[in-house]
Structure 1
Amino acid sequence: MNSGQVLLGNQSQMMRQAKFTLSYLTFIPLMKELMTAWHQKASQKWKPCINRSLLQSELPPSNGFLIIEANGGLNQQRLSICDAVAVAGLLNATLVIPFFHLNSVWRDSSKFGDIFDEDYFIETLKSHVRIVKELPEDLLQRFDNNISSIINMRTKALASKTYYLQKVLPKLQELGAVRIAPFSNRLAHSVPPYMQGLRCLTNFDALRFSEPIRLLAENMVDRMVKNSSMRGGKYISVHLRFEEDMVAFSCCIYDGGDKEKREMDKARERSWRGKFRRPGRKISAEANRMSGKCPLTPLEVGMMLRGMGFDNTTSVYVASGKIYNAEKYMSPLRQLFPLLETKETLASADELAPFKDYSSRLAALDYTVCAKSEVFVTTQGGNFPHFLMGHRRFLYEGHSKTIKPDKKKLVLSFDNPNIRWDKFKKNMQEVLRQSDLKGIALRKADATLYTFPMPDCMCQRTER
């Protein structure tokens, strides 16, 4: 039997089990209230203390203008901006409001001010870094009114403080302006406290969303709280990575039909141009699933949450792009959680119209609703959940309040045709327990403060 047949059999078994589960779960009493999902001791609690490592003295004369190009989606852009502020502080450079690269995947033409509050950004950081909206005209004329004529330093990935001081600063002082494009992941995770402080201040304060995004997002949060009145205004948010490109890239098999194969082959060719057809490349859908690389289906997410004890009175917000074959795959999740909302159900078509063709602006709406939820569920990794976990730690006394399942272990439960509900439930509650234990974590030297803000951006509360 080949890997496709194995997975097809597993998926079919899971679907049969799910039909039984859907009817059986109706009679299960509430096992775990949302407000008791986490068990945080008083001695583990942290509080924001960004300013402890930041200097408040008058800024010395600028060494020149730093221009960076942020690439990728919303949170990769966010990373680039925060790192650029830290580098500008190190070099005593004047930072030009970052440009956004028009990415072929995201296809979002938004500028900085469309996503973030530009004036608030400049005002919040003014005591630490000079920031301007554009290059002075006289300087731009020196480069033939073409920013592309300014030298691109092409900085190496995860560059150290020393690299910037030895390689970038001399050119900045010589030419009056330097450019670094692209700038994503161009600064080391571990840098001096002052630079970390600038990262903290930028990410957790200065990068406030623009007013149109902020107002609609706040309304969406209010609606979720109102819809969750049976649970004291508390709700679950799920980052569901089951878009067509995500399913295609994973090379996993779901229903195993010819239609799915044609659609996935077409999606791979459109986005990756023969990458998956290279000679000698072997892809095993079964191995991918067993190693936890396959995106969770909406049904699998629903079964996991019901196994943890969340019932059909739990409000759920699903953050995602366009779900692959949504009519088919979302139906079981809606049956399990009838109080399910998305951007499209929570906001009106007129409210969403200004954001419709801008993936980063839509992601900012999702980001806000997820940040304010009692429980956040991440299903596939990436910058969106990593930034959210860090932001939630910053907001919730150091605990991310995030369910981050070990998908290798999940597969063993999902694909076991003989598993009983009580055993499945026990396994899912262990996933929740592990997520609770790992909710509080300090940053290690090779990790990013955007996911682990303690101890760089937060201080431990002292017991009284």
Structure 2
Amino acid sequence: MANNRGYPHFRRFLSRRQYILTTALFTISAFVFSIFLLLYGFAPKEDDILKDDTRLEEPQQSQSVQQQVSDENLWGASLSHGLHPCIKPTVRHKAAQGSDHYITVRSNGGLNQMRTGISDMVAVAHIMNATLVIPQLDKRSFWQDTSTFSDIFDELHFITTLQDDVRIVKALPKELESIPRARKHFTSWSGMGYYEEMARLWKDYQVIHVAKSDSRLANNDLPLDIQRLRCRALYRALRFSPSIESLGKKLVERLRSHSGRYIALHLRYEKDMLSFTGCTYGLTEAESEELRIMRENTNHWKVKKINSTEQRVGGFCPLTPKEVGIFLESLGYPPITTIYIASGEIYGGEARLSELKSRFPNIISKV
């Protein structure tokens, strides 16, 4: 009887609990469904984003953007936020030691890639206690440039600036030119331990030849003095040759005499850049095929099949000249702004550059 008397209360308890549970589940389901609609039901598809060029034609600017942007915001120097050059060696820095071991280097890539590679090789020579021979510049690149190190950089300044860090000579001693040398492709992004281990090669060789300079050191976990040495080589020792410095000053003076202020713009829209990255957005089928063939025929480019859409969605492609024009326009730069195209020949030529000129007619290039 006791159980029978308690049963109605127990049944009412179950009903109340089921009701609460059902209500909670319904509420949670509704919430999840609303989130699903928000994320997927109203979000544009990737194909729609890529195909819908009207988003880039005339961006709807807010009232604040439409207002006149101050010269200070457009042309003022950016804040340093308290940052300062970090190139001075610490008290623990080890000075360069005399060494009869030599490293020769062939620098590859474009100018900026060669500069960073050379600064890394300076650090490698220091770590391995070797004498660095002035690097050879890449003459087999897309540009087929025959310039030597001294044509581009102030060679004497490079040697003397780093004389306390690493011994640098202009050429191998004559007696070492014909001896066998170790030829290495150093593993990229390696740290101190790797290069200290590579020093074992000195037991069998007096000269190590590095086939390319972009076997970069690790960015992290390097001693502070090695990091500072890289910066010292890159930002102080690698100064342009006097003839290039003089030409650069004349170029800047002429640009300033044209309108006072200008934008130096590197579009990164050269043929080899687009071919290497597989970025063909906005190109014709014939142009896309030409870039594919170039990539197929360039042996040292390892990746041959590239999905251009995935590259663009992933943010790995340069902006088109048209998109650059829209971007500068949105920042507030007026149409009369002088723009100096600092890059090489734009793929597609004047036809493609006209998409930028339609917004900024005062375009100046070096070609």
Q: TM tier, shorter chain?
A: 0.7 to 0.9
Partner in structure 1 of residue 240 of structure 2: 209
1:262-281 alignment runs, 5 A limit: 262-273=286-297
Is 1:183 matched with 2:213? yes
The sequence identity of aligned pairs, in percent, is 34
Within 2, Cα distance between the matches of 1:219 and 1:268?
Answer: 39
Distance in 2 of aligned mates of 1:127 and 1:282: 46
Q: Does 1:117 align with 2:154?
A: yes
Tell me how far apart the structure 1 counterparts of residues 123 and 172 of structure 2 sit (CA, whole Å).
Answer: 19
Shift of 1:343: 2.1
In the alignment, is residue 193 of structure 1 matched against residue 224 of structure 2? yes
CA contact (8 A) 2:97 2:166 kept: no
Mark the CA change 1:34 to 1:158 in structure 2 (over 3 Å): closer, same or farther.
same
Greater shift after overlay, 319-328 or 329-338?
329-338
Which residue number corresponds to residue 388 of structure 1? none
In structure 1, the partner of 2:281 is 253
Aligned counterparts, 1:60-459, within 5 A:
60-141=97-178, 143=179, 149-166=180-197, 168-172=198-202, 174-190=204-220, 191-229=222-260, 234-248=261-275, 249-254=277-282, 260-273=284-297, 283=307, 285=309, 287-344=310-367
| 1:174-197 per-position Cα deviation (integer Å, ceiling 9, x unaligned) | 432222222313422231122112
Matched AA of 2:199 = L
Q: TM-score, normalised by structure 2?
A: 0.73
Distance, in Å, in 2 between the alignment partners of 1:131 and 1:178 is 14
Supply the AA of the counterpart residue of 2:191: S
Could you say if the C-alpha distance between residues 265 and 7 of structure 1 is closer, same or farther in structure 2, counting changes exceeding 3 Å? farther
Residues 385-444 of structure 1, C-alpha deviations (whole Å, 9 max, x = no match): xxxxxxxxxxxxxxxxxxxxxxxxxxxxxxxxxxxxxxxxxxxxxxxxxxxxxxxxxxxx
- RMSD over aligned Cα atoms: 3.3
The secondary structure found in structure 2 opposite 1:175 is coil
SS at match of 2:184: coil
CA contact (8 A) 1:7 1:253 kept: no
Letter in 1 for 2:360: F
Residue 203 of structure 1 deviates from its aligned partner by 0.3
CA distance in 2, matches of 1:170, 1:254: 52
> Gaps spanning 5+ residues in structure 2: where?
1-44, 61-65, 300-304
2-structure distance, mates of 1:162, 1:201? 22
- How far the C-alpha of 1:8 sits from its partner, in A, is 8.7
Q: Number of residues paired by the alignment?
A: 311
Residue 98 to residue 294, structure 1, CA distance change in 2 (3 Å): closer
Counterpart of 1:396 in structure 2 is: none
What letter is aligned with 2:292? R
> Aligned in 2, Cα 1:6/1:59: closer, same or farther, shift over 3 Å?
closer
SS at match of 2:265: strand
Distance of aligned partners of 1:34 and 1:254 in 2 relative to their CA distance in 1, 3 Å threshold: farther
Greater relative contact order, per chain length (Cα 8 Å cut-off, separation 6+): 1
Structure possessing the higher radius of gyration over alpha carbons: 2
Give the distance between the partners of 2:363 and 2:259, measured in 1 at CA.
10
- For the 8 Å contact 1:250–1:295, the answer to whether it is kept is no
Work out whether residues 89 and 229 of structure 2, in 8 Å CA contact, stay in contact via their aligned partners in 1.
no
Secondary structure at the counterpart of residue 320 of structure 1: coil
Q: Which amino acid aligns with 2:338?
A: S
Partner amino acid for 1:254?
Answer: G
Q: 5+ unaligned residues in a row in structure 1: which ranges? A: 22-27, 144-148, 276-280, 345-464
CA-CA distance at 1:88 after TM superposition:
1.3
Report how far residue 336 of structure 1 moved. Answer: 1.9
Distance 1:60 1:251, change over 3 A: closer
Does the aligned pair in 2 maintain the 1:71–1:183 contact within 8 Å?
yes
Contact 2:108 2:212 in 1 (8 A): yes
CA distance in structure 2 between the aligned counterparts of 1:69 and 1:93, rounded to whole angstroms:
16
